[in-house]
Amino acid sequence: MKRMKIYKEMPSLLSKAFWGTLSEEEKRVLQQWREECPENERLYESVMNAEYIVQKSQEVARINIVNGYMNVLQKRKRNARVRRIRRIVSIAAGVVLPLLAVVLWYGTRGKTGNVPEQVASVIRHGGIKAELVLADGTTRILSSEVTDSLLVQQGANIVVQNQGVSYRENSSVVEEHYNTLRVPRGGEYSITLSDGTVVYLNSESELRYPVKFVGEDRRVYLSGEAYFDVTQDKAHPFIVDVKNSTVRVLGTSFDVRAYADENEVLTTLVQGSVRFSAGNKSVILKPGEQAVLDKSGRVENRKVDTYLYTAWKEGFFVFEDEGLEDILSRLSRWYDVDVFYGSEKVKEYHFTGHMEKYENIEVILNAISKMVGVHFTIKDRTVVVTQ
């Protein structure tokens, strides 16, 4: 078994080992990992010690158990190469943080890190907000403070509540009128379409949709990212047009990510069945699969952990061995900041973590700083990243 595969499985295997639910094959894999180097064995002994985990998680922020472990290693091997230290940090981050998330998530709520104070005072997390553009050009600003409002439009009544907007048909209109829902950086919003389909829009996203669906299909247009929970209607397939591709469904739940500044369009299926098409290429997805359209037009079908791509809807950031540039791109949309890199090299660093979207950004940046070995400073609304 390849080393990287073993490392990737460690969070799950150590969690199972902690609860005594390992299969025989998993025991063999875990034992192989433990025997690879003394650091692995020491880490195993630490995370199997419940009292140790509780003590460390209560003393510091939830990522600092890794930092404490690294300090021990550095004292013992002060002449170790930076590359080796970073490798161990990567392993420890991938192992300990998910384990604590499962076993001791409650242990460190409310703690703060060591990111400079100006971070918290300048950067706030996002919230419920959007802009609704009606077919006649009228614009309405929506937020959590705008509650229980009613807008009357040809074809539907629009009900605005604190968590989202919903459409209710009120006539037999046969002509389609399109509205647009725009969610800015630092925002999120949900909409219930006239057929009952619920769409959750992530930051910096836009959905164009008919007030009332008319015709043989139900077609909407997306840029950015959205999670769809589609009402089943076999006679009228639901179609999402997105960045030179389409997603065709009957009744299903899936996530589509298609930001203009990203090189890939991702469609991740949670349940049901969808057909993803781009040009003359198409794939049919099963639950737990993802269609990937790259900038060259190539379409790939791969198996994924859907939670990694849908956790944002549940209020979490989840990163699994993800590149720092991609991570900070996602954070920049939610916290409405720009990112400047003092070194191109830091973009290639990887991080694993599970954190609440409504945490102060200092908690997330502190976790990344401790585990990856980078430094963050804030200038106005720009995050500067250096080694």
The DSSP result for 2-35, as a single string, is -HHHHHHHHHHHHHHHHHT---HHHHHHHHHHHH
Q: Where in the chain is the domain with CATH 3.55.50.30?
A: 118-123+315-386
**Residue 288 main-chain phi, psi, to 5 deg:** 90, 10
Check: CB of residue 349 under 8 Å from CB of residue 325.
Answer: no
Task: Identify the band that residue 58 occupies on the pLDDT scale cut at 50, 70 and 90.
Answer: very low
Strand order in the sheet with 338-341: 338-341, 382-386, 375-379
Helix H or strand E encompassing 371: helix 361-372
pLDDT tens, position by position, 237-261: 999 999 889 999 977 999 999 999 8
pLDDT of residue 330: 93
Q: Tell if the pTM clears 0.85, that is, is over it.
A: no
Say how many residues make up the chain.
387
The CATH class, in words, for 118-123+315-386 is alpha beta
pLDDT tens, position by position, 305-360: 999 999 999 999 988 889 999 999 999 999 999 999 988 888 888 888 888 888 88
**Angle at CA of residue 79, ends 74 and 80, nearest 5°:** 65
Rounded Cα distance, 207 and 217, in Å: 17
Does residue 289 sit in helix, strand or coil? strand
The sign one gets for the Cα dihedral 317, 144, 257, 228 is: positive
Residue burial 349-377, b: 16+ Cβ < 10 Å; e: rest:
bbbbbbbebebbbbbbbbbbbbbbbbebb
230-314: CATH topology is Jelly Rolls (2.60.120)
Closest by Cα among 52, 42, 68 to 103: 52
Q: Where in the chain is the domain with CATH 2.60.120.1440?
A: 230-314
Task: Give residues with Cβ within 8 angstroms of 194, minimum separation 6.
Answer: 155, 156, 167, 168, 169, 210, 211, 212, 213
**Residue 7 main-chain phi, psi, to 5 deg:** -60, -40
Q: Is the pLDDT of residue 77 over 60?
A: no
